[in-house]
Chain A
Amino acid sequence: MTGALLTISGLTKAYPGVVANDDVSFDIREGEVHALLGENGAGKSTLVKMIYGLVRPDSGEMQLRGAPFAPAEPRAARAAGVAMVFQHFSLFDAMSVAENIALGMEKPPRLRDLAHRIREVSETYGLPLDPYRTVGGLSAGERQRVEIIRCLLQDPRLLIMDEPTSVLTPQEVDILFQTLRKLTAEGVAILYISHKLEEIRALCDRATILRHGRNVGTCVPSQTTARAMAEMMVGASFAAPARAPHATGAVALDVTGLSMPAPDAFGTALRNIHLQLHEGEILGVGGVAGNGQDELLAALSGERRSTGDAIRLRGRPIGRLGPNARRDLGLLTAPEERLGHAAAPEMSLTENVLLTAARRQNLVSHGFLRWPAARRFAGQVITAFDVRTPGPETAARALSGGNLQKFVIGREVLQQPGILIVNQPTWGVDAAAAAAIRQALLDLAANGTAILCISQDLDELIEISDRFAALNEGRLSEAHATRDLSLEEIGLMMGGAHGMEVAHA
């Protein structure tokens, strides 16, 4: 291992109300995988944006191979050999793979030559990809390949990867790691952003840990326990969710042969889904993003109607009922997207409780709103779920992700649902809030509620679910008791008919 490629010293960046990065210093060596570890909101994204030229630091400086490095825009960073794979891919759905890659390059060759080079690079690194396919139709794993190849075509010295494995099956993660090792062997440095400790221990040479915008230490992950790193990351230990043993009851929700066409050109069709959800159990539904999670939630919540018999609630066909009729029967849902789906960003929390609780909590009478009752219920949610906000009149978008998520889940939990469907309940939420939400779900199940938890976080599902099933291209696997499954079996369930064997054949 050679000397430092990128030296960061004293980087500080403040936004109104928060200091995103406070005097952060560390260095990245050539040919190493350097982990940047931290909770959501710890300042990882801001730091990376500064390196990539998207954000300019308030103070501090960077040096790339000894020369001052202050990219004014991503183009300058790319010219200096810094490339980045974004967490939410910066891809253009309606365009072809080749066009997408051309957009990420300074001087792209003609499209035909570019397609040729794409094929070359994809074969070298074991990332099969057809340059002429439309990106909108690709799976999450394939989309990530587009991003990676876009970076590799520019011969980067430093490759930044922001949470690259959050959209991959365990098998796809293995393939990615092989590609990354191949790159480091060629001397490329990788800045690897993640909060998944085991992954970092398996892949990274060194790790820098951020907490509240500060660098709280650098360690060698292979010689540090996951627990020690977690404590550095979180700052204090918190209680892991506790699970009271309990028996599951009768079938509350019975889905048989549910099929639905894709809602739009880039959506996923649901294909012949069968599932039985029992009172008092948590059924975990895993799967890589874009395999029908949103569509399954919409079908169960009533936002999209199916045939009546496809979904039965305690024997009663409800497939044709709308969301409010299902709520009347005790089926509540909490979708993944907080802003704009589960909550209206510009509306106050009081107005937002009306979205789902208007009828169950008697917040309307004869069509007229009972504002005091709505305010009281919003207050109850805020208190019971420790939502940090000035009060129920605050606009939803003013809340942090974790607090809004607690509010959204709390709004449903406090209505004492018979059946609760949640999608990504702790996505983008800090560890303490995530633990609180998981605990609330476990408590609810202990009291007899049937819970269907759709999540892309495998650790979460393993932690809270009694049974596990996986979504793959709109099909749902058979459910198995979670404790009987190995990680590898789970991965195979998630992979389903994915073309894993093509890569690294």
Chain B
Amino acid sequence: MLKLEKRPQPSRAWTYLTPVLAVVVTMLAGGALFAMLGNDPVEAIRTIFWEPLFGEFASYYRPQLLVKAGPLILIAIGLSLGFRAGIWNIGAEGQYIIGAITGAAVGLAFYPVDLWVIFPLMILAGALGGWVWAMIPGLLKVRFGTNEILVSLMLVYVAEQLLAKMALGLLRNPEGRGFPGSRNLQQYPAAHNAEIITGTGMHWGVVAAFIAVIFAYVLLSRHILGHQIQLAGQAPRAARFAGVNPARLTLICLGLSGALAGMAGMFEVSGPAGQISIDFNVGYGFTAIIVAFLGRLHPVGIALAGLLMALTYIGGEIAELNLSLPAAAIQMFQGMLLFFLLAVDVLTNYRVRLRTAEVA
């Protein structure tokens, strides 16, 4: 009979090992899944994890890695601060959309003026948009005690409707012959979030993501606010005893994660996506939740997890092309990863003991 026994201290070794173990188990289970779909499991896993990096067309795929990891990491860093404090913003997708709308709107408002200040203004507007959208659940929680999980999530659906309205209405390209969607910002140099070094996929959003990683690392390991965030998450009563103002912390965490998600949306719309369209959002805000957990809510871990998750996105696309593996399979693969991670996480805090039936 298996028995769980609480460890006196969380195991440090398992803290690092569990994400790796989860990835391995997911590969095995995913392989089995792909086999059931009639694919060669080894080939499928190889296509997803190997092809984008070292395959025939790696030079094309590698830059995509940063393009996809950038927004994931940026959003996940923000989310991780809240998750550590026990504040569950799961509506990053909505904040991402609103950031894209406000960022793009500022850029489009200047069209076709060419000024250097436009792009920084767009970043600010994107961050502000995401911040405002996250402040709605924040203020409602602080003022009325409303559950932030449900409110932030409801606002995703509201944001999607707003996005549709914008793509079809206010922000529609006047020269677009009535097609939905805004002007393409890639063709407006002052507002274009272009690659900084050609062929690397490195755009300003990726830079922002790495700045966010460093910022979060310093915050969590060296700053009193980081200590308070962790304290509030682990022992809310002790946090109040230590003088932490829970309302203030809620607003800081939600605001920060909203602003980062909004920025991510803005970098995406002005760069890789190019325009506000009905189907602009592809679920980065939700995948970032997986990234945050897979990275153990640790900034460096999140950077690695973001890259890994980006890899599965690209690998999934290749597998869709080469092996006609359905796109949904990758979505499920990512969900499975979070599942297994949570399951093996038990090893960090508990010791599993094998016990023979005892004689009483």
A binds B: yes
Instruction: Using CB atoms and an 8 Å cutoff, list the residues of chain A in contact with chain B.
Output: 16, 56-59, 70, 72, 301-303, 322-324, 327, 333, 335, 337, 339-347, 351, 354-356, 358, 364, 367-369, 394-395, 397-398
Partner among A339, A342, A344 whose Cβ is within 8 Å of the Cβ of B231? A344
* 12 A-B pairs (CB sep. < 8 Å): A58-B358, A59-B359, A324-B243, A341-B235, A341-B237, A341-B241, A342-B238, A344-B238, A355-B241, A367-B223, A394-B9, A395-B9
A395 contact set on B, CB distance < 8 A: 8-10
| Interchain CB contact under 8 A, A323 and B227 | no
Instruction: Please tell me if B59 contacts chain A, counting CB pairs below 8 Å.
Output: no
Partner among B8, B230, B240, B242 whose Cβ is within 8 Å of the Cβ of A356? B242
A341 contact set on B, CB distance < 8 A: 235, 237-238, 241
B358 contact set on A, CB distance < 8 A: 56, 58
A59 contact set on B, CB distance < 8 A: 359
Among B249-303, those with CB < 8 Å from A are none
From residue A223, how far is it (CB to closest CB) to chain B in Å?
36
Instruction: Please tell me if B245 contacts chain A, counting CB pairs below 8 Å.
Output: yes
| Assembly CA distance A349 to B1 (angstroms) | 35
Assuming the contacts A58-B358, A341-B237, asked whether A346 and B10 have C-beta atoms less than 8 A apart, the reply is yes
Partner among A302, A347, A364 whose Cβ is within 8 Å of the Cβ of B234? A347
A364 contact set on B, CB distance < 8 A: 224
| Interchain CB contact under 8 A, A344 and B9 | no
For A324, give the chain B residue with the smallest CB separation.
B243
B230 contact set on A, CB distance < 8 A: 347
B223 contact set on A, CB distance < 8 A: 367-369
From residue A365, how far is it (CB to closest CB) to chain B in Å?
10
Assuming the contacts A358-B224, A367-B225, asked whether A340 and B8 have C-beta atoms less than 8 A apart, the reply is no
From residue B215, how far is it (CB to closest CB) to chain A in Å?
13
B114 contact set on A, CB distance < 8 A: none
| Assembly CA distance A346 to B10 (angstroms) | 8
Among B342-360, those with CB < 8 Å from A are 358-360
A342 contact set on B, CB distance < 8 A: 238, 241
Instruction: Using CB atoms and an 8 Å cutoff, list the residues of chain B in contact with chain A.
Output: 5, 8-10, 222-225, 227, 230-231, 234-235, 237-243, 245, 358-360
Partner among B224, B238, B239 whose Cβ is within 8 Å of the Cβ of A369? B224
| Assembly CA distance A398 to B11 (angstroms) | 12
A302 contact set on B, CB distance < 8 A: 243
| Assembly CA distance A340 to B232 (angstroms) | 10
| Assembly CA distance A341 to B205 (angstroms) | 41
A323 contact set on B, CB distance < 8 A: 240-243
| Assembly CA distance A12 to B241 (angstroms) | 41
| Interchain CB contact under 8 A, B241 and A367 | no
A343 contact set on B, CB distance < 8 A: 235, 238
B8 contact set on A, CB distance < 8 A: 395, 397-398
Counting chain A CB atoms within 10 Å of each CB, the highest count among B9, B225, B359 belongs to: B9
Partner among A327, A340, A354, A397 whose Cβ is within 8 Å of the Cβ of B237? A340
**Total A-B Cβ pairs within 8 A:** 81
| Interchain CB contact under 8 A, A301 and B242 | no
Partner among B10, B225, B242, B360 whose Cβ is within 8 Å of the Cβ of A355? B242
Besides A322-B245, A341-B241, A345-B235, 5 more A-B contacts (Cβ < 8 Å) are A303-B241, A340-B235, A343-B235, A346-B10, A368-B222
| Assembly CA distance A355 to B224 (angstroms) | 10
| Assembly CA distance A293 to B212 (angstroms) | 45
| Interchain CB contact under 8 A, A70 and B237 | no
B237 contact set on A, CB distance < 8 A: 337, 340-341
Partner among A56, A324, A355, A358 whose Cβ is within 8 Å of the Cβ of B238? A355
From residue A452, how far is it (CB to closest CB) to chain B in Å?
16
| Assembly CA distance A344 to B238 (angstroms) | 6
| Assembly CA distance A368 to B360 (angstroms) | 55
For A303, give the chain B residue with the smallest CB separation.
B240
| Assembly CA distance A303 to B359 (angstroms) | 50
| Assembly CA distance A400 to B25 (angstroms) | 37
| Assembly CA distance A303 to B235 (angstroms) | 14
The 5 A-B residue pairs with the shortest CB-CB distance, nearest first, are A324-B243, A398-B8, A355-B242, A344-B235, A323-B243
Partner among B9, B224, B234 whose Cβ is within 8 Å of the Cβ of A367? B224
From residue B251, how far is it (CB to closest CB) to chain A in Å?
17
For A72, give the chain B residue with the smallest CB separation.
B360
From residue B224, how far is it (CB to closest CB) to chain A in Å?
5
B9 contact set on A, CB distance < 8 A: 394-395, 397-398
Partner among B5, B224, B231, B235 whose Cβ is within 8 Å of the Cβ of A368? B224
| Assembly CA distance A447 to B186 (angstroms) | 74
| Assembly CA distance A397 to B222 (angstroms) | 23
| Assembly CA distance A356 to B230 (angstroms) | 15
B238 contact set on A, CB distance < 8 A: 340-344, 355
B359 contact set on A, CB distance < 8 A: 59
| Assembly CA distance A57 to B357 (angstroms) | 12
| Assembly CA distance A303 to B227 (angstroms) | 18
For A364, give the chain B residue with the smallest CB separation.
B224
For B5, give the chain A residue with the smallest CB separation.
A16
Assuming the contacts A344-B235, A351-B227, asked whether A369 and B222 have C-beta atoms less than 8 A apart, the reply is yes
| Assembly CA distance A377 to B61 (angstroms) | 53
Counting chain A CB atoms within 10 Å of each CB, the highest count among B222, B239, B242 belongs to: B242
From residue A88, how far is it (CB to closest CB) to chain B in Å?
18
A345 contact set on B, CB distance < 8 A: 234-235
| Interchain CB contact under 8 A, A70 and B242 | no
| Interchain CB contact under 8 A, B231 and A347 | yes
